[in-house]
Amino acid sequence: MRSSAFLYPWDVIGDPAAPGRLAALGVQQATLAAAYHSTRALTPRHPGHRIVTASHSAVYYPLDPARWAGHDLAPVQQSWCPGADPWGEAAEVLAAAGLEVHSWVVLAHNSLLGTAHPDRTVVNAHGDCYPWAPCIADERVRRYCAQLAAEAAVRPGAAGTELESCGWYGLAHLHAHDKIAGVPLDPAAQYLLSLCFCDACARGYRDAGVEPERLRAAVRTALEPVWAGTYRTPEGDGTGAAEWAGVEKLLGADLAAATMVHRRQALVRFQEEVVAAVRQAAPPGFRVLLHADPVAHRTGANAGMDADRVLDLVDGLVLPCTGDAGRRAAILDAAAGHRRPGTVLAANLTVVSGMGGSPATLADDARHAAAHGADELRLYHAGLAGDGDLALVRSALAELARQA
């Protein structure tokens, strides 16, 4: 199986050994962040630093002023990585080590933008803004993300791109110093808390046949047993059916269906515009993948979507496959049933043991993923993993290569 490891530019810039070390893992590709959200990252092998604090969402290349002239929403360049074009510099040395380089672009997840423009973010039924989650139903956000995708994805030296957060973001965030675990929030409750009530979404709900204020009141009422601790989570099998049954139990089937009518329509518009912008900017053969979850109501970095529809737009999907084998199988099976000739289904496996990954079982997990339709691997994350984890990855990829 072809494999790629995720990297940040700061994992490579200033570390001459980084490209060779990555190539020695046995991967064929590096998926290199070109536009990324704020983070604090460990760099356990870098000769110049051990902790990198990316204090806000940023791009890692020189912005084109002409592209952003007249736009009230625009990306911001980073300031914590040396050089004017960290992405380009890192891509060049990775390519020299024999690795194909693809860009990694985060779209509808940007706390800097949301803090500056709270009227363009997801607003829950209680009126709380989520600054980390620009609302994809907002035309201005859609236009911004399409422009960003075209510029950040199609960098010189990139053979393809992987678009993350290319859809609805919601409550789940892992925000700095999160303190939201006091009340258990199952997927149904998280869905209700991820429903947006901004002006654009209010229009969308009306178009779907429901008054937004009625829906807002229903959501608030539906969440009362969650806050009171009297709601019981339905048993699930990983397919998402039980999650949606929970939404219907809390909100009622008719209102639940109306929310998805609007959210699907907004998602289609968003993804069509974003992917079209990338295709227009890209050379022939440029590969476009989305980080995705084939369960349409899910939100987050792996945005829920209709796999059959979206595979008409893109060359493949990167699917979250870490953890429970049953959930992995359900996600892959749901996507594999809609693949076209040439469709890529990449199983994304965390290989950092301290972040919940299991590099010791990578070979077995990869074989399991392949049995359920995966034809590529994504390894999260080569820059964050310790030496012991990387040694296990190297061994696993060698084993898989021998068996190929």
pLDDT over 70 (residue 335): yes
Residue 173: what pLDDT? Answer: 77
275-295 pLDDT, tens digit each = 999 999 999 999 999 999 999
Report the distance separating Cα 285 and Cα 279, nearest Å: 10
Average the pLDDT over 66-81 and give the result: 96
Residue 178: what pLDDT? Answer: 80
Tokens of 368: 């399991």
Q: What is the mean pLDDT of the chain?
A: 96
Average the pLDDT over 368-387 and give the result: 98
Torsion of CA 170, 174, 175, 180, to 10 degrees: 80
Residue 175: what pLDDT? Answer: 64
Token pair 């980390």 is found at 132
Lowest mean pLDDT among 53-67, 230-244, 257-271: 230-244
Q: What share of the chain is helix, strand, coil (3-state, %, to 5)?
A: 45, 20, 40
Tokens of 292: 């995705």
For 380, residues 6+ apart whose C-beta sits below 8 A from its C-beta are 5, 6, 322, 348, 349, 350, 351, 352, 357
Residue 350: what pLDDT? Answer: 98
Would you put residue 127 in left (φ > 0), alpha (ψ -120 to 50) or beta?
left
Residue 18 CB-half CA count within 13 A: 31
CATH 3.20.20.80 at 2-120+132-179+267-403, yes or no = yes
**Coil, strand or helix: which one is 212?**
helix
Average the pLDDT over 175-200 and give the result: 90
For 312, residues 6+ apart whose C-beta sits below 8 A from its C-beta are 340
Average the pLDDT over 192-200 and give the result: 98
Please report, for the chain, the start and end positions of each structural domain, with discontinuous segments joined by +.
2-120+132-179+267-403
Q: How confident is the model at residue 174 (pLDDT cuts 50, 70, 90)?
A: low
CB atoms within 10 A of CB 285: 8
In 3D space, the residue among 399, 319, 328, 327 whose CA is nearest the CA of residue 363 turns out to be: 399
**Coil, strand or helix: which one is 100?**
strand
209-246 pLDDT, tens digit each = 999 999 999 999 999 999 999 988 777 767 899 999 99
Residue 236: what pLDDT? Answer: 73
Contact of 349 with 379, CB cutoff 8 Å: yes
Average the pLDDT over 151-176 and give the result: 93
In 3D space, the residue among 106, 102, 103 whose CA is nearest the CA of residue 164 turns out to be: 106
Report the distance separating Cα 270 and Cα 262, nearest Å: 12
- For the chain, helix (H) and strand (E) counts, in that order, are 14, 14
Rg (CA), the chain: 21
21-52 pLDDT, tens digit each = 999 999 999 999 999 999 999 999 999 999 99
pLDDT over 70 (residue 326): yes
242-258 pLDDT, tens digit each = 999 999 999 999 999 99
